Structure 1
Amino acid sequence: MRYIIDRKKIIKCLVKTGLTIDDEKRLIQAINHYNFNTLINGYSHIFLKKDKVNRYEKEASSNQIIDFYEFDLNFANHLLRYILKLEKQLNTAVAYCLIDVYQLHDHCLMKLNPQYIKEKILVNLDTVNPSISFDNFMNALVKHCAINDLTKAYKVKGTSDIYRMWSELPLDLMCVTWSFATTFNLFISLNSSLIDYIGEQFNVSSRNTNGFIDFIHNLLIIRNKISHNYVIYNTQIEYQSNALNNLYNELFKVQVKHIGFYELLQMIEYFVNDYSIIKKTKMYFDKLKIKDQFKRRIMLFGVNNEN
């Protein structure tokens, strides 16, 4: 049975909790498009009274909630561009590390002996995710190759063995089909010398590769949140570590005890060599049409701006 949204009941409940409905048609369209839970439950809290549960401040209005959501959506899309750029950089770096180090002149990873791959290359796989077997992981590397226009032409017919099936597929093409999670899991499954080698491609010293891993892991989490339309503006940096702090200290010669969103954006700027990310983010924030008292409550960059 299809669930029918009672729009009049929603409007009535919001008015009852103190929210000014300044454009009922726009609010209904926004709820239909973005859904109620995402829009109202995800973005109302900065408009609520601090001393009362689920009561809006008298200055709060439906248009401000919608504008706030659309700001966060623009912020997420803005941020995603740079995460995708870093994802591509890591993807390429991992592929060409294996090509260079193991002298894969034909670029074909699947021509290597599976036991050799398991014992010499993916030495950390068991600790990365104990629930994933080596065979399952290798299958994940070629999972989408048969449906990708760039790679499907390399499939060898007449065999069910994945190593024979993809023995002619160059690794620098295979990697095009990997998700960010697959690339990341492959990266951290490599032996330490390979991880250091890849870190060097990003100007990260061997003593700070663990911090670089934590940095990439945080980007993967944010990437997944953006893909699933989660609230982004107040995202906390989930993987805090001394290694991550040390990486930041090495890059910017500044001692910090905690990495917030602002510091993460600084590191993204550094690694993609584009120092306009924070400036553009602040431009989006400055254009946000909500009252200053609510702007000060926004956890932009993980810092509450309210005095």
Structure 2
Amino acid sequence: MCIFKTVDEQIMILKQRGLTIHNEERARRYLLTSNYYAIINGYSKFFQDRDNHFMSGASFDEIRELYWFDKEIKQILLDGILNAEHHLKFIAAYRFAEISQNEKYGYLNIGNYDHEKLNYDWKLISKLSQILSSNCKYNNNTIYHNIHTHNDVPIWVLVDFFDFGTLRAFIRDLPHSVQNKIAVDCIGFIQDNVPGFDSAFPVEIMNSFIKNIHEARNICAHNKHLLKFECRSDVTYLQQFHSLNNITNENGTRKSVYSTFISLQCFLSKTEYRILSNTIRKRMRNLNYKVKSININTILDALGFPDNWQECPALVQTF
């Protein structure tokens, strides 16, 4: 049974376990207005030994800094993922429009999808119908405008209403030839971000990247712990791409936040990716300045980043 503890009792327990609290009033106020379980249980493990006792020098302020670091990194990564989502939406919409020219509501025609994925296709079409029906009643959106003005909602309008899960399903269910065009369109991003890349970008690999980016996106958007998060499966190995980023073909090496971060090079412009990379690096350096009782590489390892990654030179940003 879970037993309620007052804030004063929580502070006493933390002190008994060896945690330094420099300002008890500030800690008391913080615990009162925040979630003890999410913050202390979620982040104090990095500062404890095997007996759940805090390491020498570990402080409440350091746990709070790690909590804010995780929160900031989620927001930074989510911003990058939203940029990638934007590019994928309109690449996919363009390539779909090519095969359904002048066909009203062509995305509701099962004949425009991969015939080997009929079960998935019907679920997708049902989802797209729901998007139309839930937005056609209100005159404050482009779906309403297009239905009442043109008796059609083109894919480049509808796609703006996709969440990432719908976008992922839409790309996955397209005919292989259309998916391949989307993958080829993304090679320009890869070549901009990974100098010397001259490999193909197979559809299966693209979809595995999108799948793991989608999982990471949900962690960030729903404010779950990013530290120690791993996707359910490795992305498919792309030798030239992964080796240039020091990621191996060993099982378990391509589930991490770092692997997802690297995958975003396939869907972001050079400027977008460099801003993302430099901002994460800056936050890691800032955390290293504020947290002294543990090695920063402990935190980098929890995200899958290489040791001392934050000390790499910043990437030159061009606009």
Normalised TM-score (structure 1): 0.79
State the alpha-carbon separation in 1 of the partners of residues 155 and 241 from structure 2.
32
- In structure 2, distance between residues paired with 1:201 and 1:264: 20
Question: 1:225, 1:231 within 8 Å by CA — same for their partners in 2?
Answer: yes
Contact 1:296 1:305 in 2 (8 A): yes
* Residue number among 111, 114, 135 corresponding to 1:145 in the alignment: 135
- Shift in Å at residue 263 of structure 1? 4.1
Work out whether residues 216 and 257 of structure 2, in 8 Å CA contact, stay in contact via their aligned partners in 1.
no
Identify if the C-alpha distance between structure 1 residues 101 and 246 changes in structure 2 by more than 3 Å, giving closer, same or farther. Answer: farther
Which residue matches 2:313? none
Q: What amino acid maps onto 1:280 in structure 2? A: T
CA gap of 1:124–1:72, structure 2 versus 1, over 3 A, is farther
- Number of the residue aligned with 1:14: 14
1:227-283 CA-partner distances (Å, limit 9, x unpaired): 111111333243314x33347349x49773133443432332353123243332121
Superposed, which structure 2 residues align to 1:125-164 within 5 Å?
A: 125-126=117-118, 128=120, 133=123, 136-142=126-132, 144-146=134-136, 149-156=141-148
How far does residue 21 in structure 1 lie from its aligned partner after superposition?
A: 1.9
AA aligned to 1:62 is F
Residue 68 of structure 1: how far off its partner (Å): 0.7
Note the C-alpha offset of 1:84.
Answer: 0.3
Find the residue that maps to 2:141 and give its secondary structure.
coil
From 162, 173, 183, the equivalent of 1:199 is 183
Structure 1: which 5+ runs fail to align?
Answer: 158-165
- What is aligned with 1:39? 39
SS at match of 1:256: coil
Q: Which residue of 1 aligns with 2:218?
A: 224
CA contact (8 A) 2:259 2:304 kept: no
2:277 maps to which residue? Answer: 278
Distance 2:75 2:159 in 1: 24
1:245 aligns with 2:243: no
Letter in 1 for 2:304: G
- Whether the 8 Å contact between 2:219 and 2:226 is mirrored in structure 1 is yes
Residues 1:88 and 2:86 are matched in the alignment: yes
Encode CA deviations 1:3-22: one digit per residue, 9 max, x unaligned: 98721222222222222222
* Residue pair 2:183, 2:201 contacting (<8 A) in 1 also: no
**2:304 matched residue in structure 1:** 302
**Offset at residue 39 of structure 1 (A):** 0.8
Structure 1 residue identity aligned to 2:224: Y
Q: Which secondary structure does the structure 1 equivalent of 2:267 belong to?
A: helix
Q: 2 CA distance for matches of 1:82 and 1:283? A: 15
Q: Of residues 105, 114, 118 in structure 1, which corresponds to 2:110? A: 118
Cα distance between partner residues in 1 of 2:45 and 2:125: 47
Q: What are structure 2's unaligned runs of at least 5 residues?
A: 191-198, 309-319
Kindly tell me: are residues 207 and 296 of structure 1, through their superposed partners in 2, closer, same or farther at Cα, counting changes over 3 Å? closer
Question: Aligned residue pairs: how many?
Answer: 284
Query: Is the CA contact (8 Å cut-off) linking 1:214 and 1:244 kept in structure 2?
Result: no
* 2:260 counterpart residue number: 264
Shift of 1:198: 1.1
